[in-house]
Copies of this chain bind each other. A is one copy, B any other.
Amino acid sequence: MDELLQMGRTALAAQPFSRLLGAELIAFRPGEAELALTIRPDLLQQHGFVHGGVIGYLTDNALTFAGGSVLGPAVVTSEYKINYLKPAREGRLVARATVVAPGARQAVCRCDVWMVTEEGETLCATAQGTIALLSEPRPRK
């Protein structure tokens, strides 16, 4: 496994909330990140669909990893916008994020979230957002 993916997996494993939801980093290259999780009963809402908050989590995190792939690990999600397209019910969710416009201090990224089952892939949500460096560089002493 390459070094960037290894670093990304270590970062993901250090997020307690990502462990709670069972997220996995399945691809991580400069300008791209893919996160996945297996749909399970405690991630649903009252109609039997995956809760929008789970899809939002996956989107947010995939955007941050994509931005971090070009800006370095000290990044945060500054803002994003998501459109929900189809409900997700079963199988796996895969969020694929790419950098649209890298900059010195921030990167504008997009993310599509797919439900993947044996029958194929369904686009469940699409998002666009800004990933920013975590903080101002501090003056060294």
> Which residues of A approach B to under 8 Å, CB–CB?
11, 14-21, 41-47, 51-54, 56-61, 64, 76-87, 100-101, 104-105, 108, 110, 123, 126-128, 130, 134, 136
Are A45 and B60 in touch, CB under 8 angstroms?
Answer: no
Q: Is the CB of A123 within 8 A of B100?
A: yes
Question: Which of these, B14, B51, B78, contacts A17 with CB under 8 Å?
Answer: B51
Residues of B within 8 A of A42 (CB): 16-17, 19-20
Nearest CB of chain B from residue A96's CB, rounded to whole Å? 13
Number of copies: 4
Chain B residue nearest to A58 in the complex (CB): B53
Could you tell me the dominant secondary structure of chain A's interface residues?
A: mixed
B52 & A77 in contact (Cβ 8 Å cutoff): yes
**A57 nearest CB across to chain B (Å):** 3
Whether the Cβ atoms of B41 and A130 lie closer than 8 Å is: no
Tell me how far the C-beta of A78 lies from the nearest C-beta in chain B, rounded to whole angstroms. 6
